[in-house]
Structure 1
Amino acid sequence: MAVLVLSVLILSCFSAIPFTYADSGMIGVNYGRIADNLPAPEKVVELLKSQGINRVKLFDTDKTVLTALANSGIKVVVSLPNENLTAAAADQSYTDNWVQENVKKYTPATDIEAIAVGNEVFVDPKNTTKYLVAAMTNIRSSLVKFGLDESVKVSSPIALSALANSYPPSAGSFKPDLIEPVIKPMLDLLRKTSSHLMVNAYPFFAYAANADKIPLDYALFKENAGNVDNGNGLRYDSLFDAQIDAVFAAMAAVGFGDVKLTVTETGWPSAGDENEIGAGAANAAAYNGGLVKRVLTGNGTPLKPKDPLNVYLFALFNENLKTGPTSERNYGLFYPNEAKVYDVPLFSTSATVAPVSDSKAKVLPVNKPSSSSHVGQTWCVANGKTTKEKLQEALDYACGEGGADCRPIQKGAACYDPESLEAHASYAFNSYYQKNARGVGTCDFGGSAYVVSQPPKYGKCEFPTGH
């Protein structure tokens, strides 16, 4: 199809529309390790890369993990545990040493992009709330001292329990006793340093506690009647969006509506106790698959439509040593043997998930990991349902500004046959995807492409992988 190549050559001379994930949101994952049966960190890094996961959040600064992540291309959020807050708040030399030993030592080989100072401090039984902002300030000063303040941001994940009111979203407000002592000074620090507020949001908890009032489809990103906020007239089709906008409204109410937000934890358990309504593999697949699709194909929330959603799923593995109800040990996307807990293409915008009513949702057993020769390999192909115009535009971008190797689809070359727009676009999209290390969102092209786990078949053409 000579017209395809000619179109590429002409349009590559002009500015093209970028279809990378920079224009949508980003997806990362929490790598928790409260377990005694997890793979070695080196194997975990291989798993992350095979799944196209290029952002990870840690709950500490473990040496073996940070070393394994070196030169991986994966961006990392590290954490200063709650038990360190008192010392960090009291002594600048303490944070100087902490940053030196836990951040500077590993950069730039390990791409540390942020520090989570504490985690859900306001609900910590040991209550170190009064030390939080001082600890964050000292950590920030230490980053400045070592010249890391431009590359490493500082924040602290808060739970939705920090809100006094979350419904309707427009009425979102922080608990009054937190506003002056900690919320305002923390948001002021985030504003001054262009950092995001970290928020942990779990629609599962809200649904489980109010299953008689909240439709399950509304919590799982499925088609539903939605809700209209009577305070501002905005329509909500998901509980997740409503929760996030409640936080935005709470920030605006105290004068910090311009501060951006990152969801540092969200997920749905694949198993739970009898009283944990909604816990189950099919619902977990629906929630996580729907969320990934929502983030990578949608804009922001109804209240902040131009702000991309940035989300870290919880969690990478089921963690067998966690205490509490059964759900706590079953948030993982993977079993410790690296098999998927449920069958859902987590990092594809074409994600299809098992329906909640389907009792036969695919669940890989612990002792039977997939033995396919293509395990860990993924490819990017064109979405045949996309219009020809949109597919052509995406192809032009991939072969032009995107820098994909499109020589094999030129007339007479190895992958020119079959002579079809979908086949040529698939080859170009995959070239771009592999060139960008199969990063999350790099197989999207405005909804014109999706990830597959089996090698594409277009005539005799072989699609390369990053391996």
Structure 2
Amino acid sequence: MADSKLTTKATARLSLPLFVLFTVLTVAEAALVTEVKKQDDDQPFVGVNIGTDVSNLLSPTALVSFLQLQKITHIRLYDADTDILRALAHTKIRVVVGVPNNQLLAIGSSNATAAAWIDRNVVAFYPETLITGIVVGDEVFTTVPSSSPILLPAIQSLYSALVASNLHTQIKISTPHSASIILDPFPPSQAFFNQSLVPIVLPLLQFLSKTGSPLMMNLYPYYVFMQNKGVVPLDNCLFKPLTPSKEMVDPNTLLHYTNVLDAMIDAAYFSMKNLNITDVVVHVTESGWPSKGDSKEPYATMDNADTYNSNLIKHVFDRSGTPLHPEFTSSVYIYELFNEDLRSPPVSEANWGLFYGNSTPVYLLHVSGSGTFMATDTTNQTYCVAMDGVDPRTLQAALDWACGPGRANCSEIQPGESCYHPNNVKNHASYAFDSYYQKEGETAGSCDFKGAAMITTTDPSHGSCIFPGSKKVSNKTETGGSSSSNVTDTSGAAADRLWFWRGTRRPEVSHTLLVLLLTWLVFAIFDATMR
């Protein structure tokens, strides 16, 4: 009985130090996770805009699988599609949601409507879905000027709702602008906001300054070139290397500009400085180059689109900033993920995408090496794999067809062979699909399998299992193809870097604190057992 009482007392004495240690470690872990997320979010990144004027758009689940396959970790939506937001849950994909222009009046006129919007489209999904920003309207001052007076009230109402939900520090809120709101943009030092817009632009900038939110700009060197042919060289727009004599020089600051985008960003900084706003950073919410155009758009070509977007990505990841602000690199969202084939003419409007609607790449981005940006056999390589979320019975039927009537080579997924493991229908189907796809010459129609398959540029090979498409690349290289050292790697770590700069800084947990806590715990246990 006495021993039982002693044990009870010892347990009671132990409970407090154990509880304190558990609490401290839990708080430390939460702080560590928050700090890691914050530092990741502070790094410059390249993301993509996702428009939905696409025939046969991928389902939300398939879309998210596609984003993950392509290692895309930042996206912008033009609305707050609940199905897509739900599908993004528990992924590492960060998403900016949008408030369409036609909703501004209702939200700007009613705090209750704004609060309901936040509850329905943000609170309902966060933090499982990593919503990092809200884009309110799009180019409101130039596309729907009648809504300009209600824009800031709408933003303020939504921000108040974020504050009420204690999300205002995690989720930034702003609105994208057309470059045309800035007049006389070159040289950048003499740029200024359209004077007629200053009465509404200045309060907006003051709000952005107060809340630590960015000035969002849609910047297109393509349009600068088309509107100023003969004045602005194409190479300056495409980030191509320039001799010093071809660099643009601001005569007022003597800053040298090697590309048009940097000049457009600095024009925004100078325009804000003219209004005494100096602490708001610029984010580029849209930039890109069309891959196809009509007879009046001869510079909308695949080569130019490939060159612009590839060099844009490298420029962001170089983290060299702009001539005015070399210490800060603007993040950029490429316009856009898919060709929106349902958009109205001109032809270029339907051809800004990196991929066709069926997930086939329009062209392959080149983000390593130097010199020409012509596609090589390796960077043009695509694969056909099973899509996530497909019913196993559907996959099995497609697998049986591919290995049977489809005459795919399925020997490597037999027991004991290199691709047998992992032994599941999705893995086996992916191999069989790719075997059939490569046999048929990588034509888009050969990677369908009644909607069970998708095309990817990420090599699905793993361990000793080499997929047919990867074997083809290896064979071409061995027989005199392009050297793999000059080829863009769009899989694994390289692809990770393509879409998201992974910062090298990581917060350190105080080892001294942990040692002290553990020492205290040991003494507490010793003291409890000795009494």
Indicate the residue corresponding to 1:266 in structure 2. 287
Cα distance in 2 for residues equivalent to 1:277 and 1:57: 29
Alpha carbons of 1:258 and 1:445: their partners in 2 closer, same or farther (altered >3 Å)?
A: closer
* Map of 2:323 onto structure 1: 302
SS state of the match for residue 128, structure 1?
helix
Of 141-150 and 232-241, the range deviating more from structure 2: 141-150
* Number of the residue aligned with 1:208: 226
- Counting only pairs closer than 5 Å after superposition, residues 85-234 of structure 1 correspond to structure 2 as 85-125=104-144, 127-180=146-199, 182-224=200-242, 225-234=246-255
Name the CA distance, whole Å, in 1 between partners of 2:63 and 2:362.
16
Q: State the match for 1:367 in structure 2.
A: 444
Q: Over residues 230-289 of structure 1, what are the superposed CA-to-partner deviations in whole Å (9 max), with x where a residue is unaligned?
A: 111000000111111111110111111221111000000000111124111000000000
In structure 2, do the counterparts of structure 1 residues 349 and 198 end up closer, same or farther at CA, with 3 Å as the change threshold? Answer: farther
How many Å apart are 1:366 and its aligned residue?
7.8
Where does 1:229-240 land on structure 2 (aligned, <5 Å)?
A: 229-240=250-261
Q: Distance in 1 between matches of 2:100 and 2:381?
A: 34
Q: Distance in 2 between matches of 1:89 and 1:374?
A: 42
Contact 2:46 2:498 in 1 (8 A): no
Where does structure 1 lack aligned partners over 5 or more consecutive residues?
1-19, 380-428, 447-467
The structure 2 residue matched to 1:376, chosen from 431, 455, 458, is 458
Aligned pairs, how many? 371
Would the alpha carbon gap of residues 27 and 373 (structure 1) be closer, same or farther in structure 2, given more than 3 Å must change? closer
Task: Tell me: higher relative CO, structure 1 or 2? Use CA pairs within 8 A at least 6 residues apart.
Answer: 1
Residues 33-52 of structure 1 mapped to structure 2, 5 A cutoff: 33-52=52-71
What amino acid maps onto 2:444 in structure 1?
N
- Structure 1 pair 344/438, CA: closer, same or farther in 2 (3 Å)? closer
Distance 2:340 2:58 in 1: 12
Aligned residues with identical type, % of pairs: 34
Q: Choose the corresponding residue for 2:272, options 243, 251, 262.
A: 251
CA distance in 2, matches of 1:269, 1:373: 22
Q: What amino acid does structure 1 have at the position aligned with 2:290? A: P
Q: How does 1:309-328 map to 2 (within 5 A)?
A: 309-328=330-349
What one-letter code is carried by the residue in structure 2 that aligns with 1:300? G
Tell me the residue number matched to 2:499: 440
| Alignment map for 1:61-100 (pairs within 5 Å) | 61-100=80-119
In the alignment, which of 275, 286, 305 is matched to residue 284 of structure 1? 305
TM normalised by structure 2 equals: 0.65
TM-score, normalised relative to structure 1: 0.73
Q: Is the 8 A contact 1:241 1:301 kept in 2?
A: yes
8 Å Cα contact 1:30-1:316 kept in structure 2: yes
* Superposed CA offset, 1:32-91 (max 9, x none): 111222211212212212222110000001111111111111111001111111111111
Summarize the Cα distance change of 1:334–1:353 in structure 2 as closer, same or farther, 3 Å threshold.
farther
2:193, 2:271 within 8 Å by CA — same for their partners in 1? yes
- Higher fraction of helix: 2
**Aligned-partner SS, 1:30:** strand
**Structure 1 residue 350, shift from structure 2 partner:** 4.3
Could you say what secondary structure the match of 1:336 adopts? coil
**Unpaired runs of at least 5, structure 2:** 1-38, 383-441, 448-452, 462-488, 506-531
Q: Partner of 1:319: helix, strand, or coil?
A: coil
* CA distance in 2: counterparts of 1:34 and 1:430, whole angstroms: 27
Q: Distance in 2 between matches of 1:255 and 1:199?
A: 19
* 1:342 pairs with 2:363: yes
Asked if 2 retains the 8 angstrom alpha-carbon contact of 1:285 and 1:353, the reply is no
Deviation, 1:372, is 11
- What is the CA deviation profile of residues 148-198 of structure 1, one whole-angstrom value per residue up to 9, with x for unaligned ones? 111111100001011122111111110001112x11111111111111111
CA distance in 2, matches of 1:218, 1:100: 45
Q: Which residue of 1 aligns with 2:423?
A: none
1:154 partner amino acid: I
Deviations 1:418-456 (A, max 9, x none): xxxxxxxxxxx999949x97673457989xxxxxxxxxx
What's the offset of the Cα at 1:211? Answer: 1.7
State the 1:117 CA deviation: 0.6
